[in-house]
Amino acid sequence: MEDFIARYGFLFVTILQQALLGLSFYLPLMAGQLSLAGIGFYSLGGYVAAVMGTHPALAPWRDSLGFLFFPLEWLCALALSVPLALALGFPALRLRGIYLALATIAFVQVLGVVVLNLPLAGGAVGIFGIPQAFESRLAYVWFFGPLLALALLLVWRVERSGFGRMLFAIREDELAARAMGVAITWRKVQAFVLGCALAGVAGAMSAPFLNTWNARQGTFDASVACLAYVLIGGARSKWGPLLGAALLVSLPEVLRPLKDSRMILNGLVLVLACVYMPRGIAGLFSRRKGS
Amino acid sequence: MNAILRVQDLSKAFGGLMAVSSVSFEVAEGEIFGLIGPNGAGKTTLFNMLTGLCTPTSGSVRFQGREITGLDPARIARMGMARTFQNIRLFGGLSVLDNVRVPLHAMARSGLWGALAGGAAARDKERRALEKARELVDLVGLSGRAGALAASLPYGGRRRLEIARALALSPKLLLLDEPAAGLNPAEKVELSRFILDIRDRFGLTVLFIEHNVPMVMGLCQRIAVLNFGDLIAVGAPEAVQADPAVVEAYLGEAHA
- Chain segment A84-143, per-residue pLDDT in tens: 999 999 999 888 778 898 999 999 999 999 999 988 888 888 898 888 888 888 889 999
DSSP, collapsed to helix, strand or coil, labels residue B161 as: helix
pLDDT above 70 covers what percent of chain A? Answer: 98
CATH number for the domain spanning B187: value is 3.40.50.300
Answer yes or no: do A178 and B98 touch at CB < 8 A: no
pTM of the predicted structure, to 2 decimals:
0.91
Phi and psi of B87, rounded to 5°?
-105, 75
Q: Is residue B10 part of a domain?
A: yes
User: Are residues B175 and B248 both part of a single domain?
Assistant: yes
Residue B253's pLDDT is what?
Answer: 65
How many C-alpha atoms does A62 have within 13 Å on its Cβ side? 16
User: Are residues B147 and B193 both part of a single domain?
Assistant: no
User: Are residues B43 and B19 both part of a single domain?
Assistant: yes
Angle, in degrees to the nearest 10, between helices B120-139 and A162-172: 50
Q: In whole angstroms, give the CA distance from residue A229 to residue A240.
A: 7
DSSP code for A136: S
| B245 contact partners, CB below 8 Å, separation of at least 6 | B225, B227, B232, B233
pLDDT mean across residues, chain A: 90
The DSSP bridge pattern shows strands B3-14 and B17-28 to be: antiparallel
- Chain A residues touching residue B151 (CB < 8 angstroms): 290
Q: Are the C-beta atoms of B249 and B40 separated by less than 8 Å? A: no
| A12: enclosing H helix or E strand | helix A2-30
User: Are residues B11 and B118 both part of a single domain?
Assistant: no
| B107 contact partners, CB below 8 Å, separation of at least 6 | A181, B78, B168, B169, B170
Q: Are the C-beta atoms of A194 and A27 separated by less than 8 Å? A: yes
Task: Single out the residue in B155, B170, B185 at which a domain terminates.
Answer: B170
Residue A162's pLDDT is what?
Answer: 94
Task: Single out the residue in B106, B138, B170 at which a domain terminates.
Answer: B170
User: Are residues B183 and B243 both part of a single domain?
Assistant: yes
The residues in B 51-90 lying below 8 A from A, measured between CB atoms, are 51, 53, 72-75, 77-78, 82-83, 85, 89-90
User: Are residues B115 and B141 both part of a single domain?
Assistant: yes
Q: In whole angstroms, give the CA distance from residue B196 to residue B189.
A: 11
Torsion, CA B131, CA B135, CA B136, CA B140, rounded to 10 = 150
Task: Single out the residue in B170, B196, B212 at which a domain terminates.
Answer: B170
User: Are residues B186 and B70 both part of a single domain?
Assistant: yes
The answer to whether residue B110 neighbours chain A at the CB level (below 8 Å) is yes
Q: In whole angstroms, give the CA distance from residue A275 to residue A251.
A: 18
Q: Is residue B180 part of a domain?
A: yes
> Least CB-CB distance to A182: which of B74, B85, B95?
B74
Phi and psi of B19, rounded to 5°?
-70, -40
Indicate whether A13 pLDDT > 90. Answer: yes
pLDDT above 90 covers what percent of chain A? Answer: 58
Q: Is residue B50 part of a domain?
A: yes
- Chain B residues touching residue A238 (CB < 8 angstroms): none
A206, with CB counted inside 10 A (0-12, 13-18, 19+), is buried
Give the nearest chain B residue to A171 (CA atoms). B91
Q: Which of B209, B251, B226, B207 is nearest to B6 (CA)?
A: B207
Question: What order of strands is seen across the sheet that includes strand B58-63?
Answer: B17-28, B3-14, B58-63, B66-67
Q: Is residue B86 part of a domain?
A: no
Torsion, CA A32, CA A36, CA A37, CA A39, rounded to 10 = 130
Q: Is residue B85 part of a domain?
A: no
User: Are residues B181 and B165 both part of a single domain?
Assistant: no
> Least CB-CB distance to A162: which of B78, B110, B149?
B110
| Domain count across chain B | 2
Domain ranges of chain A: 2-218
Q: Are the C-beta atoms of A53 and A130 separated by less than 8 Å? A: yes
Confidence of residue A4 (pLDDT cuts 50, 70, 90): confident
Q: In whole angstroms, give the CA distance from residue B126 to residue B102.
A: 11
When pLDDT is averaged across residues B59-65 and rounded to a whole number, the result is: 95
Exposure letters A276-288 (e unless 16+ CB within 10 A, then b): ebebbbbbeeeee
pLDDT mean across residues, chain B: 91
User: Are residues B139 and B242 both part of a single domain?
Assistant: no
Which residue segment(s) compose the domain that B104 sits in? 91-170
Q: What is the ipTM of this complex?
A: 0.92
